[in-house]
Structures are given as C-alpha cells and as structure tokens.
Structure 1
C-alpha cells in the first residue's frame, strides 16, 4: 500500500488529478493517477475511467484510464494512513468541487 500512498503524495505535490477508492467487501485499494493536469469531461459515459458526477448531471469530470496510471494494492487499514489525513483538506476539496459548479 505504500506505493499507492507515495504516488498520491507525488500527485498532490505536482497538483495532478487522482482518485483512490475501495469497493465494499473488497480487499483492494485502487488508484487512478492522471499523467497530466488536463481537465477531461465525459459527455456520454462511454470512456473507461473514473467519473466525478454531480447529482444535477452538469460538468461531469473524468479521469480517463487511457491518460492515467492505475494501481491496485491490498487494502490494510493502519495508523500511518489515518495520521496522513489533513483535517482541513475535506473543506478545500468541497470548495474546489463547488468551483466546478458542483
């Protein structure tokens, strides 16, 4: 899991898009790490990747699989990951999403 964590830190430092997710009842943590800072949008949901879609259906942002490095690792919850959470980051993320019209 250190590889995904290190990659996420690198993406943050370089201000590049990424997403991490864990499906229910799965032992895998998945990360989509976009290779460039381009903002991609999905209009018809036909491209493989990770989609951020607001409930109103406008401004659907896509991290395309073809433009990303996709990593999967076994999920093991530990104190290192819990300590890495920045309390203010949730509010900044919400503000950034609202700037897109979300």
Structure 2
C-alpha cells in the first residue's frame, strides 16, 4: 500500500477512528496492529522481518532494565537490527560490487 493509493485513503481514516476509540492505555496496540497491517498490504513476508525486529528490540528493552551492562545490550540490539536491514535491503547490491 502506498501513501497516495486509494487503499490508504480508506485505511488511514479507519486507523485514526480506531485510535481515538481505544482507551489511552491501549492505543499503542491499535498502532502496532495498524503498522503491521500497513506493511502486510505491501508484502506479507515483511511482517516476519518486522516481527523479528520487534522481538529483538522488546527483549533488549527487558535486558537493559535488568542487566548491569546496558551498553552491550544496546550494541547487540543495534547490530542485529542493522544486520536484518543490510541483509534484506542491500544483499543483492553488495553481491554485485566488483
């Protein structure tokens, strides 16, 4: 789905209405579902990538709160997320460099 498509013209107002209907403490759930839905309209397999990144980031947040070595956790989270991006976005480009 593109921002200038007819699908988005339907999707956005529905998302906005649902956002304001949800209680304030649960609005993040509405936005979470909307963002995954938006990307799944474009290509459903990208939801797996987003899910992996979401889980890594969520678990990193929990570890940052509990562990003493916060910078190491942040570094690993960053490396994992940037690796996902590089692999799926730039892998073909990097293979063709001569």
The structure whose residues are more often helix, as a share, is 2
Higher RCO, 1 vs 2 (CA within 8 Å, ≥6 residues apart): 1
* Range class of TM-score, shorter chain: under 0.3
The structure whose residues are more often strand, as a share, is 1
Q: TM-score, normalised by structure 1?
A: 0.22
- Larger-Rg structure: 2
